[in-house]
Amino acid sequence: MSIFRRIVNSFHRSKLEQDIDRELRSHMEMRIADNIAAGMSPEQARRDALIRFGNRTAIREGITAVDAELIFDSLWREMRYAMRQLRRTPAFTITALVTLVLGIGANVVVFSVVEQLVLKPLDVPQPSGLYSVAHATHGYDNQSYPDYLDFQNKNSTFSDLAAYRIQFAGLAAGSAAYKCWYYRVSGNYFDMLGVQPAHGRLFHASDERGPNSAPYIVLSHNFWASHFDADPRVVGTAVHINKHAFTVIGIAPSGFHGTEVFIWPDFWMPIVNTPDDEGTGFLSNRAMHNLFILGKLKPDVTVQQATDNLNAIARELALQYPATDDDLSARLVKPGLMGDSFGGPARSFLAAVMVLAFLVLLAACANLASLFAARTADRSRELAIRLAIGSSRWHVLRQLLVEAVLISVLGGALGTIFSTALLRAFTRWQPFPEFPIHVTVNPDARIYFVALLLSVGSGVIWGLVPVRQVWAADSAQVMKSSAGAPLNFRSFAFRDLLLCIQITLCTLLVTSSFVALRGMQRSLRAPLGFQPQGAILADTDLHMGGHSDKSSTMMQKRMLQEVAGIPGVSAVGIIDERPLGTGGSSTTVYRQGTTDFRASNSVFGAKYFSISPGYLNAAGTALLTGRDFNWQDNAGASKVAIVNETFARALFGKMTALGLRFTLGDKAECEIVGVVENGKYDSITEPPRAAMFFPLEQNPDSDTTLVVRSPLPPAEIVPELRNVLGKIDPNLPFTFHIWPDALGFVLFPARVATTSLSVMGLLAAMLAVTGVFGIAMYSVSKRAKEFGIRVALGAQPFQLMRSALSRPVMLLLSGSAAGLLLGSIASQLLAQIVYQATSRDPLVFAAVMATMIILGLFAMWIPAHRALGIHPAGLLREE
């Protein structure tokens, strides 16, 4: 125990020093008293005592240094001994290291991502007290500008509230033009966050004096460095954004990238200015929800108080503006993940992965514990001898623990090195070239601390397993028996239990990953409502060419005509924003004859798109009944719409919807002329939702996506397409995609989920193999002599196999069964994250069983071979 006392001493330095002082003083006093008794004057007596004694401070330091020296000495001795022991058994050491590298590495990676996305505050100068104001209902986190102003002016709990939205525009400086992502922010945005400019100035609340009063932009440091050569003279120059003139007034500090964790915008613009023909109408329209609100709490205000405060304002607004603010409500969430719309699912998914990673580590610990217990049993003679010659049980145990922690820390260090390399690669990775998305994960001190904690923790967990063995060891008994003595049945049973736990955990992980994979496979096969194969997309925004929404239709008609004329193009159509893209709007739908247009009177909300005649054909969307639009469905004709099945059923039940009418929030009535199949509009995982399509001429939009279907390979058709479209307007930038590739963005979450679950499953499978292999190998080698005798007496190979492997097989089967059971329970949780994940899938059940059996056979192959290859004569010679 003395090592702990010494360590404790080093923390209680002051108490130790007091004690030393007291002792030294008592020594001095006794010497002085003796000196006086010998006839010195008190003065002389004191001087003599001091001279004999020497420097008191130096002595005190000498005494405390002894402690440190002793700690270091004994630890060093034990470490060196542990190193020697580990070098003597390289197989064990390497197995343990690999297991730990996998287990700890997986946890470090997962924890780093969790830290970056969930734990870390926003990367702004003053991140404390910042919250995003989302709606109380999940999934609708955008707010309208007038509501933002009311929240801002009437609240008493926030020191400030800022609004922002993220948009896309063409920026032209001199002769160069770029496609940019940018923030439109309220004037107080930078001041609320405490951001200071790197050059020039930032804009403030005082710059906003009504619509289009502040034609300024602030460039991001990255964009300035990469597109303007970091030239400070750019401040004060004019640039054109979608052909509107703006002045660059400043450069944001390097490292500041707005208030979303992933997105790195190119510049910031005051929200009152608009660089497109959407106009500034949204500044006064309560029905247009297109902003995120970010607020900074006053000191000493709780989240609950602030939420109550905002909700009270929301109720007032609902009374005042029933048509638009009927369902207004507020909920504060951690900022940085698009309100809560990305944050919610991301958080629950990460929590699930973290649990899985932790299970992998637990399985690794169980694996190591059984290996270590076996190793301790092998060393029982050595340990018994040490106990017999007077070593304390505690000392022996400490030695074992030092070995375990040493190897854990080594494994943890290696695991951390690997995972940081992985995270570096992850940070450099840009998943979508067309979006400014970076996931920056920089391992910091907190992560290293967690890695150390995990290493030491797991070392102690599996290092403590042999405690019982050492404590119960009867040295006389152990030394009497020879090394090849029959196994102690009870300690073997304990190791069996560990292996069983390990296999259970591994099966659980394998089941989870199969369930996720299967769900992913199913959701990929779910009908999308269009046929992406063989279609090419050409995206543009006519605003970038200076066209208005109204004049867009002419352009779009020309494009359709020209493209349809390209040889090899079988169909072409236009949609404003493609389904399963990143945009698309929804609006509320009312029954025909509704007079009170408050939101709570609506039937449902529906996605809406503007399409050209021929789009349905080009996209491969099946028209179930009715007709496609034609060019006679123009602004002068009566309003028509095509709806999907879900829409028709929700509004009219089993009645045929053709010819029936519904009403929109702007009181316009629409007649249904066609019904199309259901589709996916926002995400692969969404439940069926209502959608409607309007003719382009009745609902003009500058956003243009040409869907071009052709049997020719994309490499042939794209250059031709580029050529033809360039002739119509050379200034209009187009982005071309092959439609299946463009779906990467919506498939991304499911891909990430499936990949991470598969990696966990793979790790678990590897652990299961090493665990079963270890224990089977051990039992064969321990019983080699017995087998030799049995072979000599004429045992058949099958009998040998049965006795050698029956126990591992039993363990494998019972562990797998338990794991499968747990897995099916856990899958119900998984189903909330991975779409269409279900454990009641016979295929998953069969796959898990088959995997475990194959893994088991694989793991037992070598031990079984060794058991069969035992040669009695050889064994006898060895003994």
Residues in touch with other proteins (CB under 8 A): 2, 5-6, 20, 22-24, 26-27, 29-31, 33, 52-56, 58-59, 62-63, 65-67, 70
Token pair recorded at residue 873? 């004569």
**Residue 53 or 81 with smaller CB distance to other proteins:** 53
Q: Considering only CA atoms, which of 285, 201, 287 is closest in space to residue 605?
A: 287
| Shortest Cβ 67–other proteins spacing (Å) | 7
State which residue, 61 or 474, has the beta carbon closest to other proteins. Answer: 61
Q: Report the candidate in 658, 645, 757 with the shortest Cα–Cα distance to residue 690.
A: 645
State which residue, 76 or 429, has the beta carbon closest to other proteins. Answer: 76
Considering the complex, state which of residue 389 and residue 483 has its C-beta at the smaller distance from other proteins.
Answer: 389
Please identify, using beta-carbon distances, which residue of 2 and 731 lies nearer to other proteins. Answer: 2
Kindly state the smallest distance separating residue 41's Cβ from other proteins, in Å: 20
- C-alpha span between 329 and 297 (Å, rounded): 18
The three-class DSSP label of residue 241 is strand
Q: In degrees, to the nearest 5, what angle opens at C-alpha 826 toward C-alphas 821 and 827?
A: 100
What residue ranges in 222-272 does DSSP mark as E strands?
238-241, 244-251, 267-270
Q: How far is the C-alpha of 406 from the C-alpha of 79, rounded, in Å?
A: 8
d(CA 364, CA 372): 12
Element (H, E) at 541: strand 535-541
Decide: 339 and 292 in contact? Cβ < 8 Å.
yes
Report which of 374, 361, 362 is spatially closest to residue 465, judged by C-alpha positions: 374
- Backbone φ and ψ for 38, nearest 5 degrees, come out as -80, 0
Closest approach of other proteins to the CB of residue 829, in Å: 53
Amino acid at 342: F
* Whole-angstrom distance, CA of residue 641 vs CA of residue 710: 27
53 vs 432, which CB is nearer to other proteins? 53
- Nearest distance, CB of residue 49 and other proteins, angstroms: 9
22/727 with CB nearer other proteins: 22
Distance CA 555, CA 575 (A): 14
Distance in Å, CB of 30 to other proteins, minimum: 4
Q: Which is nearer to other proteins, 57 or 175 (CB)?
A: 57
Question: Which is closer to other proteins, CB of 51 or CB of 483?
Answer: 51
Find where tokens 């609506």 sit: 602
Question: Least distance to other proteins from the beta carbon of 399, Å?
Answer: 17
Instruction: List b or e across 403-428, with b for residues whose CB sees 16 or more CB atoms inside 10 angstroms.
Output: bbbbbbbbbbbbbbebbbeebeebee
Cα distance between residue 89 and residue 567, in whole Å: 72
Q: How far is the CB of 386 from other proteins (least distance, A)?
A: 17
Cβ neighbours for 9, distance < 8 A, ≥ 6 positions apart: 16, 67
Comparing CB distances to other proteins, the nearer of 22 and 446 is 22
**Minimum distance, C-beta of residue 54 to other proteins, in the bound complex (Å):** 4
Q: Which is nearer to other proteins, 25 or 627 (CB)?
A: 25
For residue 584, the SS3 value is: coil
Write phi, then psi, for 374 (nearest 5 degrees).
-65, -40
Q: Retrieve residue 608's tokens.
A: 């809406």
Q: How far is the CB of 60 from other proteins (least distance, A)?
A: 8
Indicate the residue among 64 and 683 with the shorter CB distance to other proteins: 64
DSSP 115: I
Residue 127, token pair as written in the block: 């991140």
DSSP summary character for residue 733: -
Q: 870: closest CA among 805, 773, 786? A: 786
In the complex with other proteins, the residue whose CB is nearer, 1 or 793, is 1
Is the separation of the CB atoms in 669 and 639 below 8 Å?
A: yes
Distance CA 559, CA 708 (A): 11
How is 334-391 classified by DSSP, letter by letter? -SSSTTTTTHHHHHHHHHHHHHHHHHHHHHHHHHHHHHHHHHHHHTHHHHHHHHHTT-
Report, in Å, the least distance between residue 20 CB and other proteins: 7
Minimum CB–partner distance for residue 27 and other proteins (Å): 5
- Least distance from other proteins to the Cβ atom of residue 467, Å: 23
Nearer CB in complex with other proteins: 52/468: 52
